Amino acid sequence: MRGLCNINCEVTRDMEKGTTYLSQTHYAEEVLRTDNFWNAIPRLTPMQPNTHFNKDDCDKNPAPDFHRHIRGIVLAAEHVLCYLRGTWNQTILYSRDCHTNPNFLWGWVDTDWVGDTDTRRSHTRYILMMNGGPNSLKSRRQDNVSLSTSEAEFVSASLAGQEAIYLRETLTNLGFSQTTPERARAETGGADQWVLKRRELPGFAMVNEKKRLHPWDTQH
């Protein structure tokens, strides 16, 4: 699977039920116990909500004391470990009896316009799902500055469409031809009609969502 970390990943398969579980339960527990965070109060997010960093946040005259210099890094790492404590036993499930069409791709696309305040570049995020679990995902800063939210959304849709086309070819070679366009759900609708009208991305359709939904939400 592209984009998924497989370090210390456990794979559990049930051939009769047609399910596959991916997890890092034992590894997460080992990290939490080693760093004395097993009894920590869980956090709901991997970092503080509404946190934004820029170059002005850097200390122009960092303290020579190493421990003082890394204090901010330590606090951020502690927050991540507290989040891990609340999610350490969660798994990814792939199933042939998933609620969506089996062996067919679908996904989510999101854009954070001008997410990087230093460069004024936007941020692309997408995840492509199949059989109930992620097949490919990406979260990265865009290469150029977008002058509008619609432009930033189109760039994100284009990147997701390129990945979808690549996966379609791969699945076809494996005997799982994609006979319908992938449906990518987006939070905003500026770029979706542009993509559909200009037909820039063959085999890729955008579905506008009026409200924010998590990628794992089962609403349609």
**220 assigned to some structural domain:** no
Residues 57 and 34 in one domain: yes
Q: Tens of pLDDT along 81-113?
A: 999 999 999 999 999 887 667 888 888 888 888
State residue 47's pLDDT score. Answer: 85
pLDDT at 169 over 60: yes
What pLDDT was estimated at residue 60? 67
The neighbouring-strand residues paired with 119 are none
* Domain boundary, last residue among 97, 128, 163: 97
- Domain C-terminal end among 49, 79, 97: 97
Strand order across the beta sheet in which 106-116 lies:
133-141, 121-130, 106-116, 182-186, 204-208
| 214 pLDDT more than 50 | no
Mark whether 141 and 156 lie in a shared domain.
yes
The pLDDT-based confidence of 19 (bands split at 50, 70, 90) is very high
**CA 218 – CA 99 distance, rounded (Å):** 8
In CATH, what number is assigned to the domain containing residue 143?
3.30.420
Number of domains in the chain: 2
Q: Are residues 69 and 9 in the same domain?
A: yes
Q: Are residues 37 and 21 in the same domain?
A: yes
217 belongs to a structural domain: no
Are 77 and 130 part of one and the same domain?
no
CA separation, residue 88 to residues 5, 138, 154 (Å): 15, 22, 35
Is 219 within the bounds of a domain? Answer: no
Tell me, yes or no, whether 216 lies in a domain: no
Residue 145 falls within a domain, yes or no?
yes
